[in-house]
Amino acid sequence: MRRLLLAALFLPLPALAQPTTAQVAALRDAALGDTLAWDITEGLTTEIGPRLAGTPDEARARVWAVARLKALGFSNVRIEPFPMPVWVRGEEKAAILAPFPQPLAITALGNSGSTGNDGLIGEVAFFPTLDDLKAAPDGSLKGRIAFVSHAMAATQDGSAYGPAGQVRRAGPAIAAQKGAAAIVIRSIGTDRHRVPHTGSTVFPAGTTAIPAGALSVPDAEQLERVLKRGQPVRLKLLLTPSQTGTRESGNVIAEVPGSDPSAGIVLIGGHLDSWDLGTGAIDDAAGLGITTAAARRIMAAGQPRRTIRLVWFGAEEVGGVGGRAYAEAHKGDIHATASESDFGADRVWQFDVGLPAEAAAVGDRLATALAPLGITRGNKFAGDGTDIGPTLALGVAGVDLSQSGLRYFDLHHTADDTLDKIDPAQLQQNVAAWTAMLAVVAHAPEPIGRVVRPR
């Protein structure tokens, strides 16, 4: 039986033809033995390592990507560069000076200001939630170090990240408005390890960046316990990051040309950059491996109707710069759908579509193709992802393949984001899901036109 499935895999799919259910199943099932996604993930994390946006490390990764994608046989492989401001990490230390002296595990948030080489000492002002910080009078924290805590729960769909992440994204600017000399937050994570989580924060125009760091979850809880003793707490911070000016990043693009240019482009991919603490395995080398392996399997099976455009986006972690650059550069292109893989490498458990009414049957065929992998259909209007967001905003249809997020935020943006955290079998299930999705969508005979996204 397996020989028949493999034989079906390498029977070319005629141009413009919709593959049969059996052909899609053969492609899907063969992908459960995929090794390419692992090879790409292992190669990128081993040969390049951390890939902070706009740095020479990310530039080396682009060169690596072009060579690898050309060797795999993709067409129109190129780099589309764009400029961006670059922030780099410096020294980072924290310690309670009084009443109970002890070190704390901390990392700087992206775009954090610097304490200077001598560090900064201040009394801690504790806020259990971001709303508590917002309620503090302007100027009331002058000379003090704000500490904002919170708790983030692990969820399969990752829905807790949006609300919890506001502490990191908006908290430092709010603390600056209140007059704080610096801010520390409890890491935006669900782990119990003494490993802090980084990630970007935003200081709006006119707001001076203050030193901003994230404590590991156990250290944040330790600081809370110290504060509950009722004595003033003095903290010393040493955070010496810097803004290095405008540098170059870029998107790496490769294609599987389709037979019908008027049918639109199926946009897929993940992001090439990573934070600098780990090697960016789950975030997002795995996403690149998954989408690349699936696209290559479709290419090997014959020419699809729609062009599959694979993008390894640059500078996602620092605010989705690559996604915006892509949308601006390609707003005149006809896109049918857009999808990205940027939520680790654990199994896909659900899919959603955001398709026009005339393409409703595409979603039904996807349900049939993905069910044997244990993937159920959700009820959301698809369109999730930082990199594809600007393209989706143009009215492009979406297909989301949702991975389990139950352990993603144990590792997200930490030094623990390394290759050993990836389960090869779950990685292969992802490739199978993406292969089935592309086999259905890239060959679909239905027109996939513009959609109106619900607000």
Catalytic positions: 316
As to burial, measured by CB atoms within 10 angstroms (0-12 exposed, 13-18 middle, 19+ buried), residue 379 is exposed
As a whole number of angstroms, the distance between CA 35 and CA 289 comes to 10
As a whole number of angstroms, the distance between CA 376 and CA 417 comes to 28
Residue 185: phi, psi to the nearest 5? -130, 160
Q: Omega of the bond prior to 99 within 30 degrees of 0, cis?
A: yes
DSSP-assigned letters across all residues of 122-142: EEEEEESSHHHHHHSPTTTTT
As a whole number of angstroms, the distance between CA 37 and CA 421 comes to 15
As a whole number of angstroms, the distance between CA 6 and CA 26 comes to 7
Distances (CA, A) of 179 to 120, 176, 205: 15, 5, 16
Contact call for residues 70 and 77 (beta carbons, < 8 A): yes
Tokens at 59, concatenated? 């530039």
Per residue in 211-221, is it b (16+ CB within 10 Å) or e — as a string?
Answer: bbbbbbbbbbe
Contact call for residues 237 and 180 (beta carbons, < 8 A): no
Residue 305 CB partners (closer than 8 Å, separation 6+): 15, 16, 17, 258, 259, 260, 263, 442, 443, 444, 445
Integer Rg of the chain from CA: 23
As a whole number of angstroms, the distance between CA 112 and CA 127 comes to 20
DSSP-assigned letters across all residues of 385-454: -TTTHHHHTTT-EEEEEEEP-TTHHHHTTSTT-SGGG--HHHHHHHHHHHHHHHHHHTT--S--------
